[in-house]
């Protein structure tokens, strides 16, 4: 039996986190956020409170055990959070609890009722629905009696639940446990682990939901970034392979390439151009994006090798001006060094751009550069996630891959061929002391594509493809092709001349025929006129003769006594 | 309790409690006895019930209940608990040295 009961949740408003938690944190219960120093616990707790107040109109209490209220307000101002304003509007209470062991002497039994009273007063002051306690473990360093503390913490979380507030409790990562003081023992409804790892000098923040009682959740480690808008967890959800596919064809920007594919690329498909250095991969990418922009669509160019200005300049040399598309804000460049940041961060940034810029086409040029910032498996995993997301959004994506070394061409370095719908292989062909570019379709899913190898020309009018000639030594390109084309041209000329000759002959015949016809017609007309004339004369003389006879007959009847007897 | 002469008050003590709990009552009794024994005529005790004035907890950073704050003489000291450990209270109030003091700032060898 399928229950339609939905676990009540409290949306955090933090980008991506609500997607992973399928709606937010458990409503009216405490959630533990743990991680090492500097992993973003405070910010997550703060963003939960601030977004609650700003976006969901739920007032909150932020109780800090580490930072003064003024420091906190200052720290998060750069993220666009104006705590003072929220406090002034009665949406937020900032409470700083200072515990210093040196000042405190313990002389017997006590409890933490003071803390309860302060928290309770703060909650009541604004009618808070959300509470953050950051980091409550500081109490352990300030107060000596662990037994009392543990009992009181247990009571505190029960009390928070009874109050019905959704709480975020932060805790420092311990050596053997999630938190130093084992807070997970008390806060067991939802546990989120933040991590900040550096690998090969590149650090990446990650978030993982360890536990979420009563609800399913994403179990992966999700990279997240802290940027000028706060925390951004990557919404890489398990999209699976059930995306809607489009049968709309879009142009690659090169008519001949479209023709090779039988009309163009499917929208939302993935295309790979792989080849050795200098085979024109970037040019194809730029042409593809420029064509998208000319259709009025937004396009994103993620370049891992060249800067924007360099690409724009280089493309001018083949008559492709990207500047108008950039000026119209249809084309966005995202040029970074692969080693500048970790893979996850690359991915995070690209995702963010996809979300904010909403392009219909995306180019990654070249994906193989990312090998520098991770191992094959990671790159592959990243591309799978990127592709899944883009397919889910119906974005057409074009990757380029740099192949190193001969004999390796039919295998892309990143091993992503299985993810790719359409794969063009670009290669150099060396023949007769020349090096020429050639391109062919290695595969194209669901399309009747050309099996031809074509020569790939970069002209001042952009990319041109020529059918490549097959000679005794293989494909003919460059001068060899030109020679062949010359021969063909000569033969064609001969044929053309032959046709011309025959055409002229035919015309001559026709003229002759027409002349003869004219002469014949003239003779005929002359003869006809002559006959007409003769006929006329004869008819005239005949009628004269009749009239004479009549006159004669009448004169005879005048002499006779009775009329009519003679003829009857 | 006769009000002490304000000028003679050398010890200004504030006891934070939360309602009339056994711990609070015990703490007040312990404090009263100790003051009478050692600070007769020189002290003043103010009892703050946070149940009635919860906002007062912020000023002295009160977490634990009961908490005794020594406002005077300065510096401010905090003593938490029911004050049943007289020895510790004496140390906390600086009425007795914590232990045999070691040599402080030993003279540098000339």
Domain residue spans of chain A? 9-233, 249-473, 477-520
Closest CA to A132 of A53, A62, A59, A237: A62
Residue B63 to residue A95, Cβ atoms within 8 A? no
CA A396 to chain centre: 5
A121 neighbourhood in chain B, CB within 8 Å: 54-55, 57
Q: How confident is the model at residue A62 (pLDDT cuts 50, 70, 90)?
A: very high
Q: With an 8 Å Cβ cutoff, is B76 touching chain A?
A: yes
Q: What's the confidence (pLDDT) of residue B106?
A: 46
Query: CB A95: neighbour CB atoms within 10 A?
Result: 20
**pLDDT at A200 (0 to 100):** 61
Task: Tell me which of 1.10.10.10, 3.30.565.10, 3.30.70.20, 3.40.50.300 is the CATH number of domain A9-233.
Answer: 3.40.50.300
pLDDT at B107 over 80: no
> How are beta strands A130-134 and A396-402 bridged, if at all?
unpaired
Query: Which residue in this structure is represented by tokens 């006779």?
Result: A560
Residues of B in contact with A110 (CB under 8 A): 23, 64-67, 80-82
Whether A407 shows a pLDDT value over 50: the answer reads no
**B28 touching chain A per CB within 8 A:** no
For residues A18-31, average pLDDT:
88
More confident residue, A379 or A193: A193
Is B98 part of the contact surface with chain A (CB cutoff 8 Å)? no
CA angle A314, A317, A323 (to 5 degrees): 65
pLDDT computed for residue B15 by the predictor: 92
Burial class (CB in 10 A: 0-12, 13-18, 19+), B74: exposed
Residue A207 pLDDT > 70: yes
Chain B residues close to A156, C-beta within 8 Å: none
Please compute the mean of the pLDDT values over residues A181-190 and round it to a whole number.
Answer: 80
Q: Can you tell me the mean pLDDT for B5-22?
A: 81
**Alpha carbon distances (Å) from A423 to A186, A251, A380, B28:** 54, 15, 16, 84
Question: pLDDT tier at A459 (50, 70, 90 boundaries)?
Answer: confident
Q: What token pair was written down for A388? A: 């899944």
Band (pLDDT 50/70/90 cuts) for residue A520 is: very high
What is the phi/psi pair of residue B31, to 5°?
A: -65, -45
Give the pLDDT band (50/70/90) at residue A568: very low
The answer on pLDDT for B100 being more than 50 is no
Task: Give tens-digit pLDDT for B37-48.
Answer: 888 888 889 999
Task: Choose, out of B80, B82, B90, B95, the residue to mutate when testing the contact with A (most A CBs < 10 Å).
Answer: B80
Q: Residues of chain A whose C-beta is under 8 A from some C-beta in B?
A: 95, 97-99, 103-115, 117-118, 120-121, 139, 142-143
In the three-class reduction of DSSP (H, G, I as helix; E, B as strand; rest coil), residue A311 is classed as helix
Check CB contact under 8 Å for A105 and B79: yes
| pLDDT exceeds 70 at position B5 | no
Q: Write the class of the CATH domain B6-88.
A: alpha beta
Shortest alpha-carbon distance between residue B101 and chain A (Å): 17
* pLDDT: which is higher, A494 or A409: A494
For residue B74, pLDDT over 50 is answered with yes
Mean pLDDT score across all residues of chain A: 83
Residue from the list A95, A107, A139 with its beta carbon closest to the beta carbon of B92: A107
Q: Supply the DSSP symbol for A40.
A: S
> Which residues on B lie below 8 Å from A99 (Cβ)?
61, 63
Facing B80 at nearest CB: one of A95, A98, A106: A106
Query: Which of A89-103, A114-128, A467-481, B63-77 has the weakest average pLDDT?
Result: A467-481
The CA-atom distances, in angstroms, between B73 and each of B11, B70, B84, B93, B95 are 6, 7, 22, 9, 11
What pLDDT was estimated at residue B1?
A: 47
B57 Cβ under 8 Å from any chain A Cβ: yes
Q: What pLDDT does A496 receive? A: 92
The arithmetic mean of pLDDT across residues A122-130, rounded, is: 92
The residue with greater pLDDT, B65 or A556, is: B65
Answer whether B18 sits within 8 Å of A108, measured CB to CB: no
Residues of A in contact with B80 (CB under 8 A): 104-107, 110, 143
Of residues A105, A115, A121, nearest to B77 (C-beta)? A105
Tell whether B24 is within 8 A of chain A (Cβ).
no
pLDDT surpassing 90 at residue A503: yes
Q: Which of A108, A118, A120 sits opposite B82 (nearest CB)?
A: A108
Nearest CA of chain A to the CA of B42: how many Å?
Answer: 22
Residue B2 confidence (pLDDT): 47
What is the pLDDT confidence band of residue A415, given thresholds at 50, 70 and 90?
Answer: low
CB hemisphere CA count around A135 (13 angstroms): 26
A23: left (phi over 0), alpha (psi -120 to 50) or beta: left
Q: What is the pLDDT of residue A519?
A: 94
Which of A151-155, B77-81, B84-88, B96-100 is least confident?
B96-100
Tell me the average pLDDT of chain B.
Answer: 79
Sign of dihedral through CA atoms A201, A342, A370, A366?
negative
Q: Identical fold at A9-233 and A249-473? A: yes
Superfamily of domain A249-473: P-loop containing nucleotide triphosphate hydrolases (3.40.50.300)
| Torsional class of A268: left (φ above 0), alpha (ψ -120 to 50), beta (otherwise) | left
DSSP-derived letter for residue A231 is E
User: Exposed (0-12), middle (13-18) or buried (19+): which is A491, by Cβ within 10 Å?
Assistant: exposed
Beta strand pairing call for A60-64 and A130-134: parallel
With 70 as the cut, is the pLDDT of residue A154 above it? yes
pLDDT at residue B8, rounded to an integer = 63
Which of B64, B67, B74 is most worth mutating to test chain A (most A CB atoms within 10 A of its CB)? Answer: B64
* Measured CA angle at A325 (ends A263, A314), to 5 deg: 85
Say how far residue A560 (Cα) sits from the centre of its chain.
Answer: 126
Q: Which residue out of B81, B85, B86, B97 would a mutagenesis test of the A interface target, given it has the greatest number of A Cβ atoms within 10 Å? A: B81
Query: Number of residue pairs across A and B with CB atoms under 8 Å?
Result: 96
Whether the model pTM is above 0.80:
no
Asked if A115's CB is within 8 angstroms of B85's CB, the reply is no
């Amino acid at each position: 039996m399928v229950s339609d009961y939905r676990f009540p949740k409290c949306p955090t408003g933090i980008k991506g986190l609500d997607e992973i938690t399928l709606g937010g944190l458990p409503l009216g219960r405490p959630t533990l956020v743990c991680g090492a120093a500097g992993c973003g616990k405070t910010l997550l707790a703060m963003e939960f409170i601030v977004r609650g107040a700003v976006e969901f109109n739920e007032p909150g209490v932020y109780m800090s055990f580490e930072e003064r209220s003024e420091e906190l307000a200052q720290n998060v101002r750069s993220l666009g959070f104006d705590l003072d304003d929220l406090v002034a509007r009665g949406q937020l209470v900032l409470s700083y609890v200072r515990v210093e062991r040196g000042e405190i002497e313990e002389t017997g039994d006590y409890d933490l009722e003071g803390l309860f009273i302060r928290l309770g007063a703060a909650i009541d002051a604004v009618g808070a629905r959300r509470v953050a306690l950051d980091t409550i473990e500081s109490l352990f360093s300030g107060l000596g009696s662990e037994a009392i503390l543990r009992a009181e913490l247990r009571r505190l979380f029960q009390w928070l639940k009874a109050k019905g507030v959704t709480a975020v409790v932060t805790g420092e990562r311990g050596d053997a446990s999630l938190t130093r003081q084992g807070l997970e023992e008390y806060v067991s409804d939802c546990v989120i682990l933040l991590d900040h790892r550096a690998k090969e000098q590149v650090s990446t923040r990650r978030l993982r939901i360890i536990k979420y009682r009563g609800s399913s959740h994403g179990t992966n480690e999700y990279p997240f970034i802290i940027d000028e808008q706060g925390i951004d967890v990557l919404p890489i959800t398990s999209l699976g392979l059930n995306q809607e596919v489009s049968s709309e064809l879009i142009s690659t920007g090169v008519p001949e390439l479209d023709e090779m594919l039988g009309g163009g690329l499917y929208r939302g498909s993935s295309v790979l151009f792989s080849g050795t250095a200098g085979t024109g991969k970037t040019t194809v990418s730029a042409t593809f994006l420029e064509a998208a922009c000319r259709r009025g669509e937004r396009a994103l160019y993620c370049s891992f090798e060249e800067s924007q200005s360099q690409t724009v300049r280089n493309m001018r040399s083949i008559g492709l001006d990207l500047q108008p598309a950039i000026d119209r804000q249809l084309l966005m460049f995202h040029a970074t060094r692969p080693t500048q940041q970790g893979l996850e961060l690359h991915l995070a940034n690209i995702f963010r751009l996809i979300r904010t810029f909403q392009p219909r086409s995306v180019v990654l040029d070249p994906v193989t550069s990312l090998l520098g910032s991770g191992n094959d498996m990671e790159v592959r995993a990243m591309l799978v996630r990127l592709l899944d997301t883009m397919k889910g959004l119906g974005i057409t994506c074009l990757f380029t891959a740099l192949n190193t070394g001969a004999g390796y061409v039919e295998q892309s370095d990143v091993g992503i061929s299985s993810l790719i719908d359409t794969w063009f292989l670009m290669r150099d062909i060396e023949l007769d002391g020349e090096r020429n570019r050639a391109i062919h379709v290695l595969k194209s899913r669901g399309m009747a594509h050309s099996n031809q190898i074509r020569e790939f020309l970069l002209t001042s009018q952009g990319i041109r493809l020529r059918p490549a000639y097959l000679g005794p030594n293989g494909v003919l390109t460059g001068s060899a092709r030109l020679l062949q084309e010359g021969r063909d041209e000569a033969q064609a000329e001969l044929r053309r001349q032959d046709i011309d000759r025959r055409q002229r002959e035919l015309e001559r015949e026709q003229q002759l025929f027409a002349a003869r016809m004219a002469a014949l017609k003239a003779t005929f007309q002359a003869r006809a006129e002559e006959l007409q004339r003769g006929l006329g004369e004869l008819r005239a003389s005949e009628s004269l003769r009749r009239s004479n006879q009549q006159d004669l007959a009448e004169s005879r009847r005048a002499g006779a006594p009775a009329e009519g007897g003679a003829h009857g | 309790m006769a009000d002490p002469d304000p000028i003679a008050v050398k010890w200004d003590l504030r006891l934070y409690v939360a309602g009339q709990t056994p711990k609070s009552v015990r703490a007040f009794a312990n404090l009263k006895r100790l003051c009478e024994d050692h600070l007769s005529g020189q002290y003043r005790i103010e009892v703050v019930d946070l149940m009635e004035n919860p906002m007062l907890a912020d000023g002295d950073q009160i977490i634990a209940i009961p908490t005794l704050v020594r406002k005077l003489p300065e510096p401010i000291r905090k003593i938490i608990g029911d004050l049943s450990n007289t020895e510790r209270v004496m140390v906390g109030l600086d009425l007795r040295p914590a232990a045999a003091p070691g040599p402080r700032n030993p003279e540098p060898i000339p």
